[in-house]
Amino acid sequence: MKMSEDKVVIVSTDPMIIQAADFGLDVGIEKLREVAGLPSIAMSVPLTFVLVYNQK
């Protein structure tokens, strides 16, 4: 969306699913699960975003 002459806003319409393994975080999440004594921790999370661009 163009908000003004020098500002544009971009908003995600649907969440993207991010996988921990794609960023090498799966081993750390497993260790956290063990330390916390939890039966499981999700290895993927939904991500939404809002980007604001200002022209200089």
pLDDT in tens, 1-56: 888 989 999 999 999 999 999 999 999 999 999 999 999 999 999 999 999 999 88
Q: pTM for this structure?
A: 0.58
According to the model, what pLDDT value does residue 55 have?
Answer: 87
According to the model, what pLDDT value does residue 21 have?
Answer: 94
Domain that holds residue 28: 2-54
Question: Coil, helix or strand for 45?
Answer: strand
Give all strands of the β-sheet with 7-11 in edge-to-edge order. 2-4, 7-11, 50-54
According to the model, what pLDDT value does residue 53 have?
Answer: 95
Cα–Cα dist 20/31, whole Å = 13
Eight-state DSSP code of residue 15: P
Total domains in the chain come to: 1
Cα–Cα dist 38/46, whole Å = 21
According to the model, what pLDDT value does residue 1 have?
Answer: 87
